[in-house]
Structure 1
Amino acid sequence: PGRVELSPSSLEGWTHRLAEPLIRVHAVEAEGYAWEYYPYIKLSNLEPPGWSAHPEHWETAIEVVGGPRPEARECFIHRDYHPNNVLWKEERVSGVIDWVNSCRGAAGFDVAWCRLNLAQLYGVAEADMFLGAYSSLVGTDFEYHPYWDLIAIVEILPGPPGVYEGWPAFGVNHLNGEIIRERLDQYISSLVARL
């Protein structure tokens, strides 16, 4: 029981609580689990998008994701962890839904996928807030690598990106394609700066 909450009273507290379920998910050993993470797009055919004001940052992202993956401990991952798949009751997470894409993979991808959604919904600062919350909760068991953020963001190519239909369905009505494109450009610029 619970409901999707996209307009919390405190984004800082909300992002911290949003990170908490992932700690438990990623603690599950996935050895022998039949499904393994893979990108949903063909990495060899990617090109910087024409809709971006910063195609050079997308070019860098494409080069990075075309290279080797960083070493990471495999664990159970949700694969589609984002605010629309988290239920809340009385400002606490009451459930996580939509497990159809769960698989073995790097915890960094779940963190990255959620960050991508947060960057589009709210902005780079909120995506970074989530990373900080997850990192503080998991401690030394997690080493951040921008590769996972970059592979998550290139999955939206070729675009142009639009407003995910689940956001207005839950009351987020101020977004449009232009805002999403601007936020994605800001986000990819911040990711390239982390390399």
Structure 2
Amino acid sequence: MNHDEAAAVRPLTLAWVSRHLEAGERIVKAAALHGGSTAEMRRLTIGMRDGGTRDLVLRTYVDPFYVEHAEGGLDGEAGALTLLTGTGVPAPSLVAVDPTATQCEFPSLLMTHLAGRTVLDDQGVETRVRLLARQLVAIHALRPVERPREYVTLTTADTVVVPKGADAAVWTAAIDVIRKPAPPCEGRFLHRDFQPGNVLFDVPPSHPEDARTTGVVDWAAASWGPADLDVAHCSVNLALLHGPAWGMRFAEAYEEAGGVLAATASERLYWRVRDALAASEEVRSVSQPWREAGRAELTTRAVEERLDAYVTALMDAPG
């Protein structure tokens, strides 16, 4: 098997993957995939009996913190990928999962590889925002026979990290918003980490306006809850990647695509503020993969400043 040192597949895991291939197939190459923050990702090229190749993706949790929580995440992703089969949502197909590392060195999941790539550049963001909105509306329209687990939100008023130099009054008011109970909501099928880093695109180099969505990945947190929560999560990621105005724009694009948000402005504000404040705890871990992907200007400090501006925009918005 050909591979670079960083992409080497561990022996037990290699044997496990091999047991889930078709007769006569073998792994001929492994390449590291970059951009994730919680697990090692590898693309495995599989040599087929007819001489052709196909690709699979291997997700492996190795960091002790994430290994401790891997079983729930991998079971959740495996369940979500199973539910998504045949729905028309462009998600990977599940091949195999070992959530407790009974056969592999570490908890692992094997799935099919999707065409396309993540696009994090500012160029073409207007087109991609519309595509993201349409894709999210399609996800929220799913009504699986078996619902995934209920959504969770971990951020509390006491865990928010106020950026250096932020307007204390604005952030105090924002934190007060999430001290209130969550508004009642109509449940929807949620991706729960829907954002540009988890959506694949095909973008023709000479015609970026003809971009199309080719896949949605990383379904480990799929759950059942308010559509506003997925919209809020994508909004804050767009705000940090491309500027606060794009974070504010996404909810509009979602509704233009046919999505339905909470009935009142105060309810919509609750979810958008909640996810923005959740981002305050993850600025460093979120921004590092973006820099590795080529967005060198998105330093931790730059992202903190964008988050501050976005929270201020939310709190200043009419209604």
TM-score by length of 1: 0.88
Alignment of 1:92-111 (within 5 A): 92-111=212-231
- Residue equivalent to 1:115: 235
- Residue equivalent to 1:21: 135
* Structure 1 residues 70 and 31: alpha-carbon distance in aligned structure 2, compared to 1, 3 A threshold: farther
Deviates more, 1:44-53 or 1:74-83: 44-53
- Residue equivalent to 2:277: 154
* Structure 1 residues 6 and 56: alpha-carbon distance in aligned structure 2, compared to 1, 3 A threshold: same
Cα contact 2:228–2:271 (8 A) shared by 1: yes
Deviates more, 1:70-79 or 1:49-58: 49-58
For these two proteins, the number of residue pairs brought into alignment is 192
Could you list the per-position Cα deviations for residues 132-180 of structure 1 after superposition, in whole angstroms to 9, with x for gaps in the alignment? 21111125x3336111111101213456x33522212332222112211
5+ residue gaps, structure 2: 1-114, 204-210
5+ residue gaps, structure 1: none
Cα contact 2:118–2:197 (8 A) shared by 1: yes
Q: Given the alignment of the two structures, is residue 72 of structure 1 paired with residue 188 of structure 2, yes or no?
A: no
* Structure 1 residues 7 and 44: alpha-carbon distance in aligned structure 2, compared to 1, 3 A threshold: closer
Cα contact 1:16–1:133 (8 A) shared by 2: yes
Q: Please list every run of at least 4 consecutive aligned residues from structure 1 whose deviation after the TM superposition is greater than 4 angstroms.
A: none
Which structure ranks higher in relative contact order (CA pairs < 8 Å, sequence separation ≥ 6)?
1
Cα contact 2:240–2:303 (8 A) shared by 1: yes
Distance (Å, rounded) in 1 between the aligned partners of 2:165 and 2:269: 20
Q: 2:298 aligns with which of 169, 175, 184?
A: 175
Distance (Å, rounded) in 2 between the aligned partners of 1:50 and 1:184: 8
Could you list the per-position Cα deviations for residues 20-72 of structure 1 after superposition, in whole angstroms to 9, with x for gaps in the alignment? 1101110123685241111123x252456262421222211211111022232
Distance (Å, rounded) in 2 between the aligned partners of 1:126 and 1:150: 15
| Cα displacement (A) at 1:104 | 0.3
- Residue equivalent to 2:198: 85
- Residue equivalent to 1:142: 261
In terms of fraction of residues, the more helix-rich structure is 1
SS in 2 for 1:171: coil
| Cα displacement (A) at 1:16 | 0.5
RMSD (Å), alpha carbons: 2.1
- Percentage identity across paired residues of the two chains: 31
Q: Given the alignment of the two structures, is residue 51 of structure 1 paired with residue 170 of structure 2, yes or no?
A: no
Distance (Å, rounded) in 1 between the aligned partners of 2:180 and 2:255: 25
SS in 2 for 1:93: strand
SS in 2 for 1:98: coil
Report the structure number with the largest CA radius of gyration.
2
- Residue equivalent to 2:126: 12
Could you list the per-position Cα deviations for residues 57-108 of structure 1 after superposition, in whole angstroms to 9, with x for gaps in the alignment? 2211211111022232111000001100000113111000000000001010
Paired residue type of 1:105: G
Paired residue type of 2:134: E
TM-score by length of 2: 0.56
Distance (Å, rounded) in 2 between the aligned partners of 1:31 and 1:67: 32
Cα contact 2:240–2:306 (8 A) shared by 1: yes
Distance (Å, rounded) in 2 between the aligned partners of 1:151 and 1:171: 29
* Structure 1 residues 7 and 87: alpha-carbon distance in aligned structure 2, compared to 1, 3 A threshold: same
Distance (Å, rounded) in 2 between the aligned partners of 1:45 and 1:105: 23
Distance (Å, rounded) in 1 between the aligned partners of 2:190 and 2:168: 31
Cα contact 1:79–1:110 (8 A) shared by 2: yes
Q: Given the alignment of the two structures, is residue 130 of structure 1 paired with residue 250 of structure 2, yes or no?
A: yes
